Amino acid sequence: MSTTPAKPVQGKPAPKGFVYFPLIAGWLVPGAGHFLVGKWVRGALIAVAIIAMFFLGLAMQGKIYTSAEDILGLLGMVGDLGSGLLYFIGRAAGWGGVPVQTTVADYGKVFIVVAGLLNIIAAVDAHNLRTGRKS
């Protein structure tokens, strides 16, 4: 595995300002990181995909992890946390089903966790766009 720190694309000026802003915004609100770097279509598609996945999970009575009782619960909560504000609003509003009772609710739980993980990927992508590592 390479340990060389990533550098901006050659020929491009070094980014100015707080480069982590798109990363944080993208984590809090799906697609917001791409909006901040001017990638409107990409941001809109990401927002639709992730928000749809989160709410499809809720519609299937998927569970939102609220505590880490064991290692699987901890991993699930980390995944859920990736959704940013959606997770915090969901917890505050008491969204999500009770612990899995049906097969469909199990699918829903996975949808919610994966929505969070995809949002983390998208936020890192927005950060790469901001730093110039990706165009």
Can you read off the two tokens belonging to residue 134? 């990706």
Q: How far apart are CA 24 and CA 46, in angstroms?
A: 15
**Cα 74-78-80 angle, rounded to 5 deg:** 115
Residues 27-56 that bind another protein (CB under 8 A): 42, 45-46, 48-50, 52-53, 56
Q: How far apart are CA 88 and CA 91, in angstroms?
A: 5
Which range binds another protein by CB under 8 A, 16-24, 65-73, 85-93, 109-117?
Answer: 109-117
Contact flag: residue 114 with another protein (CB under 8 A): yes
User: Under the rule (CB under 8 A), what is the footprint of another protein?
Assistant: 42, 45-46, 48-50, 52-53, 56, 59-61, 103-104, 107-108, 110-111, 114-115, 118, 121-122, 124-125, 134-135
